[in-house]
């Protein structure tokens, strides 16, 4: 009997997202998907700075988008499993045909070799079709900007480019109080931080005409900021989606006692001593006491009521301030467009 492979392939057509004055409209080609709300996980203790369980963070109005991405990942995984099975079957068929020639029964009974050859051609065609289906198995994110929002988003991208070129970017992973009298230090807070990178990137399985603003995370899932939402992405099974309008971004200047080399794009705003008295003067009891620069860094915190809690520090304060201002302007425009949509729907 000739080999046959029958599998109904369902390709995820994608998520279609439109941003305009009339609001943010999202259409997702999913039928019968029921999303249950997650419970809230309290934030981590104050001295440790990291987000809650990634499965708890997704915004309520972004659960449909997450479901579409999950379905696309699941389908791709199934297709890849099918591809492996067909490739294994193809190898077996080729081996059978080779043995039929070696032991001559394939030459004597031509129907055997003909059937095997037909199977091989069908298996090759199935492999070709499955590979094409895998290539097409993705979530398509289409963004149609209103001109006003597009202008603000372009400003956000430019501000992010400047921010990403800071000589130093750190992810603050913990911070705790230090007794200055006991330590004889001018610093009242001990900060643990790791150097990270900001760039432009996208998560696997999501295609868009925009690359996301990428925030590397030293102690958790990385952040990918798209025009309407932020994806916290660890892997295909562990990610969360948060609406831009739900992000609470705070920015401030930080006085930092820098014991390492001062970055070229940072400003020294004061000086202190390695060992100081309570009034800030050098403690003369310590031989070889030396001066330490105090620099101004920029700090950005990102949080939501669902448990997002990330804090970054930048050597370039001006870029930090600019990005914060532009992000909030863009966020206000997004929120206003949502309000327009709700008021229009009620008329």
> What is the mean predicted confidence (pLDDT) over 169-197?
68
Per residue in 111-145, pLDDT (tens digit) is 777 888 888 999 999 999 889 888 888 788 877 77
Q: Does the pLDDT at position 177 exceed 90? A: no
Lowest mean pLDDT among 168-172, 196-200, 338-342: 338-342
Report pLDDT for 292. Answer: 87
Report pLDDT for 171. Answer: 95
Band the pLDDT of 14: cuts 50, 70, 90.
low
CA atoms within a 13 Å half-sphere pointing along the CA-CB vector of 134: 15
| Burial call 61-84: b when 16+ CB within 10 Å, e when fewer | ebbbbbbbbbbbbebbeebeebbe
Q: Does the pLDDT at position 83 exceed 80? A: yes
Q: Give the residue ranges of DSSP H helices in 222-283.
A: none
Report pLDDT for 5. Answer: 64
> What is the mean predicted confidence (pLDDT) over 161-182?
78
Neighbours of 227 (CB within 10 A): 22
CA atoms within a 13 Å half-sphere pointing along the CA-CB vector of 331: 18
Per residue in 298-323, pLDDT (tens digit) is 999 999 998 999 999 999 999 999 99
Band the pLDDT of 179: cuts 50, 70, 90.
very low
Q: Does the pLDDT at position 11 exceed 70? A: no
Percent of the chain with pLDDT over 90: 39
Lowest mean pLDDT among 141-145, 175-179, 215-219, 244-248: 175-179
Q: Are 249 and 301 in contact (CB under 8 A)?
A: yes
Residue with the bigger pLDDT between 14 and 155: it is 155
Q: Does the pLDDT at position 4 exceed 70? A: no
Report pLDDT for 61. Answer: 81
Single pTM value for the model: 0.77
Residue with the bigger pLDDT between 50 and 68: it is 68
What's the rounded Cα separation, in Å, for the pair 156 and 224?
A: 14
Band the pLDDT of 344: cuts 50, 70, 90.
very low
Band the pLDDT of 178: cuts 50, 70, 90.
very low
Q: Closest Cα to residue 14, out of 207, 241, 229?
A: 207
Report pLDDT for 18. Answer: 59
Percent of the chain with pLDDT over 70: 74
Q: Are 194 and 173 in contact (CB under 8 A)?
A: yes
Report pLDDT for 325. Answer: 98
First to last CA, the chain: 66
> What is the mean predicted confidence (pLDDT) over 58-85?
86
Report pLDDT for 340. Answer: 41
Q: Which residues contact 154 (CB under 8 A, 6 or more apart)?
A: none
How many helical (H) and strand (E) elements, i.e. helices and strands, does the chain have?
Answer: 6, 15
What's the rounded Cα separation, in Å, for the pair 332 and 337?
A: 9
Q: Does the pLDDT at position 32 exceed 50? A: no
Report pLDDT for 35. Answer: 30
Residue with the bigger pLDDT between 70 and 26: it is 70
Lowest mean pLDDT among 110-114, 143-147, 289-293: 110-114
The average confidence (pLDDT) of the chain is: 79
What's the rounded Cα separation, in Å, for the pair 342 and 56?
A: 27
């Amino acid at each position: 009997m000739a080999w046959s492979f029958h599998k109904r392939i369902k390709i995820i057509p994608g998520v279609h997202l439109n941003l305009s004055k009339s609001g943010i409209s999202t259409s997702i080609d999913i039928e019968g998907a029921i999303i249950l709300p997650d419970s809230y996980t309290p934030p981590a203790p104050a001295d440790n700075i990291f987000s809650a369980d990634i499965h708890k963070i997704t915004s309520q109005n972004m659960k449909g988008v997450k479901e579409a991405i999950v379905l696309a990942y699941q389908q791709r995984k199934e297709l890849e499993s099918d591809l492996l099975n067909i490739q294994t079957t193809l190898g077996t068929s080729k081996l059978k045909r080779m043995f039929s020639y070696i032991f001559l029964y394939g030459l004597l009974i031509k129907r055997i070799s003909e059937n095997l050859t037909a199977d091989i051609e069908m298996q090759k065609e199935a492999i070709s079709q499955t590979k094409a289906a895998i290539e097409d198995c993705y979530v398509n994110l289409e963004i149609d900007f209103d001109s006003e929002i597009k202008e603000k988003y372009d400003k956000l991208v430019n501000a992010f480019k400047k921010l990403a070129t800071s000589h130093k970017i750190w992810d603050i992973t913990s911070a705790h109080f230090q007794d200055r009298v006991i330590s004889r230090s001018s610093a009242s807070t001990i900060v643990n931080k790791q150097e990270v990178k900001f760039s432009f990137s996208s998560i696997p399985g999501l295609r868009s005409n925009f690359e996301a603003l990428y925030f590397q995370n030293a102690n958790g899932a990385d952040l990918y900021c798209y025009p309407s939402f932020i994806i916290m992405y660890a892997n295909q099974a562990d990610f969360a989606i948060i609406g831009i309008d739900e992000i609470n971004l705070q920015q401030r200047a930080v006085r930092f006692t820098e014991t390492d080399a001062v970055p070229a794009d940072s400003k020294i705003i004061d000086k202190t001593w390695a060992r100081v008295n309570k009034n800030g003067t050098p403690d003369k009891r310590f031989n070889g006491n030396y001066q330490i620069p105090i620099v101004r860094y920029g700090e950005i915190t990102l949080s939501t009521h669902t448990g997002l809690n990330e804090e970054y520090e930048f050597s370039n304060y001006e870029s930090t301030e600019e990005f914060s201002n532009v992000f909030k302007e863009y966020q206000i425009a997004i929120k206003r467009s949502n309000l327009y949509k709700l008021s229009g729907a009620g008329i």
